[in-house]
Structure formats: structure tokens, C-alpha cells
Structure 1
Amino acid sequence: MRRASLSTRLYRRVLVLLALTGLAMGAVLYSVASREIGRASDAQLANASRLLYMMMQDELTAGVLAARGKGLGTGPGSASDPLLSSEEKRAFHASYDWCMFAVFWEGQPVAQSGWGAPVDLVPRQPGLHDFAAVGDRWRSYGLPGRDPRLLVVVAERDAMRKLSVGPVMRKLALPVLLLITAAMIVLWLTLRKSLSEVERLASSLSARTLADLTPLDPQDWSRDLGPLITALNTLFARLEQAYELEQAFTDDVAHELRTPLAAIRAQAQLLGKTAPASAGEEIGRLLATVTRANHLVGGMLTLARLNATAVSARSIDVHALVADVVAEAVVNLPCDGIEFTVLPYHVVRWQCDPASLLIALSAVIENAVRHAADGGRIDIAVVRTFDHLVITVGDRGPGVAADDRDRLLRRF
């Protein structure tokens, strides 16, 4: 399987980190919201107890509780002297419908809301307390009066606090999701932008030719790519040194072989004139072998020359270049050897490297001259279209077998 791109792998890893960060943020938000709502609820309990204490001020001023404490009344909560009227209870319930209340005098209940937890389970101490009743967890606040014998307690279920957290989290969920989504998009664009320099480096290397081993300028690339640029420049230096050694070796070998091959050819031709007729066939094979060796040496020189050529494209007259190669080939042919035609007759300009094109044309036209029949004809056509140039060389020779055509572009 093909591995995912570097940007995709980085995006996945950072996305996991972003998701974990989002979950952590959600947990922190939930904790903070729960704590703040708890504090607000505790403050509401205190406010409710103060409101209840204010609603009892008339009865407290009239000394109802003190009279009950001395046994002068008809008993706690008697109908004749209620501490809170039904209208006051309804008013309290309308203001604080989420909590219950109980009033204690000397630790004994003298009034209660009539709903919520049983009064016997309500804590009878000042301040905040947690207790369990009717299958729920409760939170209470006890407010002592001016008379220390009086205690006003207001309580609410913990479930009410959790219900209060829910709407807050739902309101926060959409902004957090939008923030995470925006962060994902910005993250992806940032990664693509950051890694675009790697793509630019790849494009720069792909546009080079085999002979272009110019070192990369570290100033053109970011500091993060510095080690890669240094490694590439080191590799270019090693390749250039290896190419120089190979070209020097090939060039030296080719030049050194030309002299003994020329001597062998001269000796073979001289031997052919003096040797008996029976040796003519062997001498012919010897001359053919020397010719093949000369072609091989020529190919080695061409290869060395091509590898040493620096490619630089410019606008040239392709028709004039073809004519020069043809003129050079005609010089070495007999007068009635081969007829050349080059079409069209007008100037054909093209953006290319003239040295490389000259080497390629020389090799192809030399091949056509070698395989064309004596007194034959070679037709060369230069066809330019909008986006490419085609040079066709036809020699009317025996042709190349279909099985061998794949080998045409190999060396020698």
C-alpha cells in the first residue's frame, strides 16, 4: 500500500492532539461551570433564607415564637397564630420554586414549606450542608436569626444544579464545535502552506537535467530544510565528481583507441592488396570488425560529449542546424552517394538547447547515411506545432525489426 503524505500524517496526529485538547477543554469548562453554578446556587439559597426571614419579621416582632417557647401559644404551627400565612408561602414558592424551607426554634420545627424533604431529615445547623432524603442528594443553608434560638433553613436538590449545568453546556457546545472546526481548517491550511516548500523543492529537483548538479542555495530555503539542503549539496558534489571521472575515463579511452584502430585498418587494407585472393574474405571480416570498433569508439565520444554538455535553452533556427549537420555529412560522401532533402525551406525557430540537439541530429543522420542504400535518398522533415517540435529522418533502409525497436534508445 502507498503511504499517506507527510501533511496527512501530521494532520492526523495534530488532529488527535486537537481532539484531546477539546475534550480537556470541555472537561475544564464543565468543571468550572459546575463550580460557578454551585456557588450561584449557594448564594440563591442564602438569598432565599434571608427573604424568608424578612417575611417573618412581623411575627417575630409580635413575639409569637417567644410566646410559644414559654408555652403561651397553642403549639408549634397552630392554626390560630401561623408563623407564615398561606399567601406568604405561595409568594415564597413563586420566587423560589426550586427549593423548600423549614423554620426551627430551639431546634424544633415551627414552620415548613409542605413540599420537598421531610423536615426531620433537614440539617439544623447554620451554614451550608449536604444531606440525603427521599432518594436524592440535597444542599441546605441555615440562616440564624438575631435571636440565636431561631434558625431558617432553605434546601434544594442537587439534581437542580445539574439541570442548570446542562443548558450552560449546550450553549457552550456550538461555539466550542465551531472553534474546533475552524481550528481544523486553519491547521490543514497551515500544514499545506508549511509543506509547500517541500513540494517546491521536489519541483526544483525534477526540473533539473542529469548534467545539472549545481548546489542549492541554502538562503532560498527555510531553516528547517537546512539539513536536507546540505545533504543534497553533498550528494551533488559526489555525483559531479563521479561524472567527471567517468567522462574523463570514457574520453581518454575513446581517444587512445582511435590511433591503434586506424593503424589496424591501414595494415588490413595494405594486407588486402598484397595477400592472395583466398584471404580476401578474412580480411573483409577484419575490416568490418575494425569499423564496428570505430563506431563503438564514436559512440563513447558522443556519450562523453553529451554528458559534459550543460543544457541552456534558447531560441534557434532548427532548419539551419539541420542543414549544417547535413552539410557535414555530405562532405564525407562521394558526389553521387546520397541525395538529401530538408523540408520546409523556410526558417523554423524553437526554444531548445542547440548543443544537445546537434549531438542527437548528428547521431541519427549518421545512422541514416550508414544504412541508406548506395545512391539512395534521405528525407528530413521539420514539423512544428503549437507545443512541440518533430524532426523526422527517413533513409529508405532495411528498417529495424519490431522486436529490436525497444533497444534503439539504449546506449551504443
Structure 2
Amino acid sequence: MTLSQRLFLRILPTLIITIAIVGILAYRSATREIDNIYDAQLINDANVLWSLMKHPLTRLTARPTVQVPDLDFSMDNQLALNEDADDYADAHSFRAWRGSALAFASSNAFPDEVKRFPAGFTDVTYQNELWRIYALPIPNSDVTIEVAEKIILREGLVDNILLNLAFPLLILVPVSAIIIWLAINNGLANVRELVSQIRARTPDDLSMIATKALPRDLAPLVHSLNNLLRKLGRSLTMERRFSDLAAHQLRTPQAGIKLLLQMFDRADSDEERAALLKDLVVSNERAMHLIEQLLRLARVSHQPVQLEALPLRQIAAAALADFGVILNRRGFHVGLVATQDPQVLTDRALLRVMIDNVLDNAIKYSPAGGRIEVRIEPGSRGFRLCIEDSGPGIPLEQREAAFQRFNRLDAQAGEGAGLGLPIVADIGNRLDIGISLSTPAWGSGLKVDLDIPAA
């Protein structure tokens, strides 16, 4: 279902309900106004009848009930020329009482068996017809004027008004529906144009979407899409650059291994073969380390972040324990200094990769019997994890370049793949962990500070 259809199907029921409410309110209003007008007419008729019959009703002599004939028979059936007027006349009647005796009555009035009605308005059902009666007691006399009217007369008028109102309202529904449909389609023309622009994009075309002719409501959406395209472009550029660099870096160890294998095949003595085999093992280890770092970098870039409260001291101790074998074999002096076990808000797997990379660099570039110290102290963002080694360190002017991928410093030219600190930097950006490089307090080596947010 299209957006136009969804909007139309949501607006149309609202329109129909609104029209129905208008019709109901109009019906109630018409009924109330007609009742008021007809009641006022009954009051007026009663007063007119009293004015006309005042003299005969106040005479002292008693006389029998006078039956007033119907005018449509006494005036050559004039009212019969208009059936509606005739029905209107038949729907009215009157009676005049003097004391308990009926003095005057219309030809269609209630018989005298129907007793006099109380003063004011009364609704009565007579011969399966509902009547509205107004009784007017004359002050300082025993005279009462009654004027009656059939309720069906009012109901018929209300029905006619409602019928005349319903027809335009029913016509209004399809007309309004057509107008709404055209308005929705015209209003969504810009959206369709935007959709067509997005569909026209290809993986190689990440240019920005023009916002000049768009309405103000769509501007935030287009700005968000442009930001997404911009980020996607940067990400694709980085991925292409990473692929090119990775291919270049993998080509070198593979070429070295190929050359050593060719030399091994042509070796003349066992001593030469043993030396070549040793070089092959070293080259293979370097290639495996590079592949491991590349896979770790890819995992860091795509692994979802799951923040939780974690014990920092426990994670640091576990990382040191995993490097325990190589630390003992090379005779390192290792220390973990932490007065407490603070809770930090971070991702366990990514933080562990971060610490492992820093420790791996510290072990790799420190001499045998060197010193590695891990300390936990309060930091600007929560808590600071400090990892210090006794290696060659990184000069101040090269520390910014140390976080670039595949960038090996002069002091590290023969080691690693140039991905350790870049991986640490990538994780720091994702986990909002501040990273700084400095020199340990003992004057040589490298100190890496990780400012981790507190839980």
C-alpha cells in the first residue's frame, strides 16, 4: 500500500465521521428550534382564540357546546386545493372550557369525555397519535383555552429538513474524497521525486541530494540522508584504503615465504636447510600475526557495542593472566596497582581487545627482563587505566602518527604490522574512551592512558 493510499484511508473515515456528527448536530438543533417555534405558535393560537371568544365565553347565560365546523367544507373545499395545507389544518384542534363544561370545540377536537388538561404543555397519545396540547387558564375566570397539535407534524418537518440536509452531505463525501485524493497526490509529489532520486543512486554514486526545491518538512529527512551518504562515502573510502593496504602488506610476507621456499628447495646442506627453515617459521609467524591483526580490526569495526557495568580491575588482571606464559618466559617484572575495583560503563569484548593490543605492544617492544606496570586511578571521564612498559617508547613528534594504520615507526621497523595502536584508537572512538601517550615516571618506555567512563 502506498503512502498516498495510507493517508487517504486515514483521512476519509475522519471526514465521514465529521460529516455524520454535523448531520446529528443539525438534526438535534433543527428539532429543538422547531419545537420552540411550534410551542410558541400554540401559545399564540391560544391567546388569539381567547381574544375572539372572550365575549361569548364570559356571558352569564349558559349554552350548549358549540361545534366549530371545518373550514375546508364550508369554504368550497379551498384547503383541499393544497393537500399539505389540508393535512396541516387537520393536525390542529382547539377546545374552550367554561368551568367543567365544554363551551367551544373544533370539528376534530378531543370529545368532552377527555377531561380538561392541566395548565401549560402536555403530551398525550389519543387514538394511536401523539398530540401536543397547550392549556391557557384565563386569570380571574373559570375559562380555559386548549390548543392541540399533532407531533407528527413537527417530526415530518424535521425529517424534511434532515432529508434536504442529508443529500448535500452525501454528495459532499465523494466530492471531498476526490479533492483530498488530489491534494494528497499533489502534496506527495516532492516525496515521490525524492524517492526517485534515491532509487537512481548507485553504489558508486553517493553524491548529495539537492534540497533547494524541497518543502521545509522534508529538509530534515534529506539532511539526514545526506549525512548518511557522507558517512557511507567515508566508510567505503576507508574500506577501499584498508583493502589496498592489507593487500600490499600481505604481499610482502607471502613473497618472502615464497622466496625462502625456493631457496630451501635449492639448499645444498642440512645446515643451510635448518637456517632457512628457521627463517620460514619466523616469516610465517609474522604473516599469521598480520592476518590476526587484520581480522581483529575487521571484527572491531563491525561488532555491535553492548554497554554494561564491568569491574575494571578484574578485566585488567584477566588480560595480564592470559599473557602470563610469555611474561614469565621472558622474565618481565609485572605489577598491577589498584586500590579498588571500579565499575566502568563499556563493552567487555571490545575493552578486552583494547587492553590486549596495548599489552601485546608493551611485551613485543620491551627487552627481556623489562618492566610492565598496570595501574588504575581516577580519571577525567571516570577511571584511568595506565599501561607502562620499558621499551623504546614513541617520540613526541611521532605519537599522532602512531595511530595510523600500517604505520610502523623507526624504532619498530622490524616488528609488527602497524595495526596495534590503530585498533586501540578505533575501539576508543566507539566506546568513548580517551587515549593519550606519554613517558612513564621512570623516564623511558611508553605509557598508554585509557580514560574509561564510570558506570
Contact 2:96 2:103 in 1 (8 A): yes
Q: Name the SS of the counterpart of 1:128 in structure 2.
A: strand
Write the mapping of 1:286-297 to structure 2, written as runs, cut at 5 A. none
Match of 2:147 among 137, 154, 168: 154
Task: Please name the residue that 2:415 is paired with.
Answer: none
Letter in 2 for 1:224: D
Letter in 2 for 1:113: S
Task: Please name the residue that 1:96 is paired with.
Answer: 89
Residues 1:17 and 2:5 are matched in the alignment: no
Task: Please name the residue that 2:134 is paired with.
Answer: 141
Letter in 1 for 2:46: S
Match of 1:26 among 23, 38, 53: 23
Residues 1:177 and 2:174 are matched in the alignment: no
CA drift of 1:219 comes to 5.0
Contact 1:45 1:155 in 2 (8 A): yes
Percent same amino acid at aligned positions? 30
CA drift of 1:264 comes to 11
Letter in 2 for 1:208: R
In 2, Cα distance between the equivalents of 1:262 and 1:167?
A: 99
In 2, Cα distance between the equivalents of 1:38 and 1:207?
A: 67
Letter in 2 for 1:9: R
Task: Please name the residue that 1:114 is paired with.
Answer: 107
Match of 1:65 among 40, 52, 57: 57
Match of 1:187 among 180, 183, 192: 180
Q: Name the SS of the counterpart of 2:206 in structure 1.
A: coil
Contact 2:70 2:106 in 1 (8 A): no
Task: Please name the residue that 1:331 is paired with.
Answer: none
Letter in 2 for 1:11: F
Letter in 2 for 1:171: N
Task: Please name the residue that 1:247 is paired with.
Answer: 240
Contact 1:213 1:240 in 2 (8 A): yes
In 1, Cα distance between the equivalents of 2:72 and 2:118?
A: 24
Task: Please name the residue that 2:329 is paired with.
Answer: none
Write the mapping of 1:71-90 to structure 2, written as runs, cut at 5 A. 72-73=61-62, 75-77=63-65, 82=66, 84=68
Q: Which ranges in structure 1 are unaligned for 5 or more consecutive residues?
A: 268-412
- C-alpha change, 1:173 and 1:156, in structure 2 (3 Å) is same
In 2, Cα distance between the equivalents of 1:125 and 1:104?
A: 12
Letter in 2 for 1:202: V
RMSD: 4.0
CA drift of 1:144 comes to 4.3
Q: Which ranges in structure 2 are unaligned for 5 or more consecutive residues?
A: 80-84, 261-455
Residues 1:233 and 2:221 are matched in the alignment: no
In 2, Cα distance between the equivalents of 1:46 and 1:172?
A: 29
In 2, Cα distance between the equivalents of 1:119 and 1:181?
A: 57
- C-alpha change, 1:167 and 1:254, in structure 2 (3 Å) is same
Contact 1:48 1:96 in 2 (8 A): no
How many pairs align? 259
Task: Please name the residue that 1:8 is paired with.
Answer: 5
CA drift of 1:102 comes to 0.8
Q: Name the SS of the counterpart of 1:101 in structure 2.
A: strand
- C-alpha change, 1:257 and 1:65, in structure 2 (3 Å) is closer
Contact 1:123 1:129 in 2 (8 A): no
In 2, Cα distance between the equivalents of 1:148 and 1:90?
A: 32
TM-score, normalized by length of structure 2?
Answer: 0.48
TM-score, normalized by length of structure 1?
Answer: 0.52
CA drift of 1:244 comes to 0.4
Task: Please name the residue that 1:46 is paired with.
Answer: 43
In 2, Cα distance between the equivalents of 1:29 and 1:222?
A: 39
Q: Name the SS of the counterpart of 1:212 in structure 2.
A: coil
CA drift of 1:139 comes to 0.8
